Amino acid sequence: MRAFEYASPTTKEQAVSLLGNSWDEAEVLAGGTDLLSLMKDGCVAPKRLVNIKEIRELRGISAGGGGLRIGALATIQELLDNRAVSRAYPAITQAAEGITSPQIRSLGTIGGELCQRPRCWYYRAGYGLLATDEQGEPLVPSGDNRYHAILGNAGPAYFVHASSLAPALIALGAKVRLFGPDGVREMWLDQFFTTPLTADDRETALKPNEIVTEIIVPTALGVKSATYEVRQREALDWPLATASVALSMSGDRVRVARIVMGHVAPRPWRAAEAEQVLAEKAVTEEVAQKAGELALNGANSLSRNGYKIQLARVAVKRAILMAARGGRG
């Protein structure tokens, strides 16, 4: 890890002033479970770390009539332990349960979970975000791509986005608030995620001198939600494919459905066709099956990850059925 200087501001204004205009100037330190590993592997080498954990207003989770506010510094464990969240937003709790290490849940924050960098082993081994050789040729399509993208993978990005909470939050219609030198910016969480076109880009709309301050989730009144994960093992690991589903119900019929898949594309992946097939229908096994197939309609496997297409289909189908049962497995 390269040497750096360290500051621990107590307000978001101070934090933003301590950040720089480029990513090599400064990085934001929250839980640290991803950032410090990235720094040890030389994937990022900031000259300064700005620890935001002393900024009190970024903490806490509050649920009220208007929905849910999750401070960027709320930990995964706090989210998991929050009864109001598990009652009204099972998709969020189930996604948080998939972060299986108690140690990561204690340190890891919501803001950090959304801003974590890809787990792509080429990236982590120093081949750059887009995993290229010295001539700039991509290594993933002909390499070991068993955990790489099956959607949105026409290049140059082939990695999958590592966030497990983002699909659930997007399905529930969440917004994210950012703070920078020009004040507050708010956007749909769906629009926060971007697919990098160059190795210097990031996977979010966050600028080097901005911080995530909070996530706002609208009320879940009349909404049934669930997250289903397909994973290799129960212990600490990222899932192979996940689906988060939110169904706005009118009686026993679906009014509007939102389906978002995780770990299948360089960004959380919305399945619009599958959403439409659920509209104005009662949820049955057949409809859920159909939605799973439609969700993966545009999928393209690389040389070694064809199996993920079927896993994602099943994840979508089971998440829909779970949501219809009120989030129960």
Partner 1 sequence: MQRDEKMKEKGSGLSRRTFLKVSGISLSVPVVLGHRTIKVAGAEVEVYGPGKVPIALTVNGAKHTAEVEPRVTLLEALRHELDLTGAKRVCDRATCGACTVIMDGKPVYSCSVLALEAQGKQITTAEGLLRGDRLHPVQQAFIDNDAQQCGFCTPGFVVACKVFLDKNPNPTPEEIQKGLGGNLCRCGTYVGVRAAVAQAANQYPNRKGGGNQSTSKGGR
Site of interaction with partner 1 (CB under 8 A)? 1-11, 13-14, 16-18, 29, 31-34, 36-37, 39-41, 48-49, 51, 53, 77-78, 81-82, 100-104, 106-107, 234-236
Can you tell me the distance from the alpha carbon of 265 to that of 122, in angstroms, rounded to the nearest whole number?
Answer: 16
C-beta of 98 vs 156, nearer to partner 1: 98
C-beta of 107 vs 249, nearer to partner 1: 107
Question: How many C-beta atoms surround the C-beta of residue 134 within 10 A?
Answer: 6
- Smallest gap from Cβ 59 to partner 1, in A, equals 11
- Smallest gap from Cβ 123 to partner 1, in A, equals 14
C-beta of 33 vs 153, nearer to partner 1: 33
C-beta of 31 vs 268, nearer to partner 1: 31
- Smallest gap from Cβ 95 to partner 1, in A, equals 15
Q: Residue 197 has what DSSP assignment?
A: S
Q: 52 in the Ramachandran plot: left (φ > 0), alpha (ψ -120 to 50) or beta?
A: alpha
C-beta of 60 vs 218, nearer to partner 1: 60
Q: 141 in the Ramachandran plot: left (φ > 0), alpha (ψ -120 to 50) or beta?
A: alpha
Quote the strand ranges of the chain, DSSP E. 5-7, 26-29, 48-51, 61-64, 67-71, 175-180, 183-188, 211-217, 223-230, 241-250, 253-262, 269-270
The pair of structure tokens assigned to 72 is 């960027």
C-beta of 82 vs 153, nearer to partner 1: 82
Phi, psi values for residue 113, rounded to 5°:
-65, -40
Helices assigned H by DSSP within 43-143: 76-81, 83-88, 90-97, 102-107, 110-115, 121-122
Strand partners, 211: 179
- Smallest gap from Cβ 302 to partner 1, in A, equals 25
- Smallest gap from Cβ 235 to partner 1, in A, equals 5
- Smallest gap from Cβ 190 to partner 1, in A, equals 28
